[in-house]
């Protein structure tokens, strides 16, 4: 029996709070920031070569999850949206996100109307929905039995909102929608999930096997779909049930491993949440609580926390160094000012600790971070043609040795 978050309710000896994962993760990026369809295809090739890191159940064609994060493919979206009479504003002035919606039309239309209403209440411009093409001929019966409807939600910023404030407003819209849906009583609300809503990044993911993603979402094979970043993930759910929503990447991260200190991290964060104040978020801060969605995975809780730290004004590297500090106390190779950084932030937040390797991106930066013991190693290559390839495996992408 699935709960409101798409996970199984705690029952018998199973408790959803003990969810962990040990997966395959990686990214490909052009270090000069040059967009290309090749980068997207390279990312998918890395994902497909992480097939052994994923898992399947009794249904051999239903995977635990696979997905990809890219930059917003402006040229592609502009072309396909024009066909459905949606005129997109300039790049960076609109947000887009993949939304999972109920199969039952009545429930779906109810949520769609709710989404439009909240966008208008937040004084942004609701552009509409785009039906996302898909091909389910290669996926398993189990995945199909719980498969949602896929749509792109498109939102434009108003004239008085700057781009950074717009990204924060998209967070508020997404969180308000999620909180509202969790409170309503409709049969298929468990099908609902917003994968992301951003002016910088776009995510495609699902209860798929790595080799199924490419053909399941034909958008990814369009030559106009271009990005300088492709971050991918192949999920192995150990103590949890695979679902469409719990596939990675999340809004900022894709995670390999587990956070052993999760209970303490979330409890301390929730205790402090009522004291939070921030000049950038202002009154909107109350609209996005609870920050950490209840009964989600360790990866999702980490991503929720990271997102708030970033939206409160910190850079992505800054926030990650707060959450996963190095083992700095007795390390003579770490400079004094860096130790001071870690010591100061240890007063604000406990380390999220455990064997974990995290790849991350906000559409501007892409990178990775290891746990302080390096228990989930990553390998990376930098090539002569300005690519960086990072993965939990050696050799996930064919590269000419001369390069």
Query: CA-based Rg of the chain, rounded to a whole angstrom?
Result: 20
What's the token pair of residue 371?
């746990």
Alpha-carbon separation of residue 217 from 67, 165, 213, 389 (angstroms)? 10, 31, 6, 23
Q: Is 257 exposed, middle or buried (0-12, 13-18, 19+ CB in 10 A)?
A: buried
Question: Smallest Cα–Cα separation from 50: which of 24, 29, 84, 11?
Answer: 24
3-class DSSP assignment, residue 107: helix
Q: Is 243 in contact with 249 (CB distance < 8 Å)?
A: no
Q: Is 359 a catalytic residue?
A: no
Q: Element (H or E) spanning 146, and its range? A: none
Q: Is 1 exposed, middle or buried (0-12, 13-18, 19+ CB in 10 A)?
A: exposed
Q: b vs e for 67-94, b when ≥16 Cβ sit within 10 Å of the residue's Cβ?
A: bbbbbbbbebbbebbeeeebebeeeebb
User: CA–CA separation, 81 vs 114, rounded Å?
Assistant: 22
Backbone φ/ψ region at 150: left (φ over 0), alpha (ψ -120 to 50), beta: beta
Question: Smallest Cα–Cα separation from 353: which of 374, 330, 331, 329?
Answer: 374
Angle separating helix axes 298-311 and 316-323, nearest 10 degrees: 130
Q: Which member of 23, 81, 195, 359 is catalytic?
A: 23
Which residues are designated catalytic?
23
């Amino acid at each position: 029996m699935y709960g409101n978050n798409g996970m199984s309710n705690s029952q018998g000896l199973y408790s959803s709070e003990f969810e962990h994962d040990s997966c395959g993760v990686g990214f490909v990026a052009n270090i000069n920031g040059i967009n290309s369809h090749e980068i997207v295809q390279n990312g998918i090739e890395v994902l497909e070569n992480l097939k052994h890191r994923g898992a399947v159940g009794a249904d051999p064609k239903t995977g635990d999850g696979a997905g990809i994060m890219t930059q917003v493919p402006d040229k592609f979206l502009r072309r396909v949206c024009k066909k459905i009479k949606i005129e997109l504003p300039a790049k960076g002035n609109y947000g887009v996100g993949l939304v999972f919606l109920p199969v039952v039309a009545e429930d779906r239309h109810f949520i769609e109307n709710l989404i439009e209403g909240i966008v208008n209440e937040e004084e942004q411009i609701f552009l509409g929905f785009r039906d996302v093409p898909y091909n389910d001929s290669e996926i398993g019966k189990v995945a199909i039995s719980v498969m949602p409807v896929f749509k792109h939600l498109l939102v434009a910023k108003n004239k008085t909102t700057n781009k950074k404030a717009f990204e924060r407003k998209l967070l508020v819209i997404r969180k308000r929608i999620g909180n509202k849906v969790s409170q309503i009583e409709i049969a298929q609300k468990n099908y609902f999930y917003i994968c992301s809503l951003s002016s910088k990044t776009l995510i495609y993911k699902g209860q798929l096997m790595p080799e199924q993603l490419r053909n399941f979402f034909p958008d990814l094979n369009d030559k106009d779909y271009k990005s300088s970043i492709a971050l991918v993930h192949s999920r192995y759910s150990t103590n949890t049930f695979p679902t469409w929503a719990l596939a990675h990447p999340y809004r900022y991260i894709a995670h390999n491993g587990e956070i052993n200190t999760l209970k303490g991290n979330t409890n301390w964060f929730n205790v402090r949440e009522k004291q939070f104040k921030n000049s950038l978020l202002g009154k909107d801060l109350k609209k996005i609580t609870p920050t950490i969605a209840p009964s989600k995975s360790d990866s999702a809780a980490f991503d929720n926390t990271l997102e708030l730290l970033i939206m409160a004004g910190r850079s992505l590297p800054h926030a990650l160094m707060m959450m996963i500090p190095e083992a700095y106390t007795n390390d003579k190779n770490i400079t004094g000012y860096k130790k001071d950084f870690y010591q100061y932030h240890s007063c604000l937040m406990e380390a999220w600790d455990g064997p974990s390797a995290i790849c991350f991106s906000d559409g501007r930066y892409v990178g990775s971070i290891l746990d302080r013991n390096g228990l989930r190693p990553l390998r990376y290559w930098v090539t002569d043609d300005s690519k960086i390839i990072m993965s939990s495996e050696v050799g996930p992408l064919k590269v000419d040795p001369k390069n």
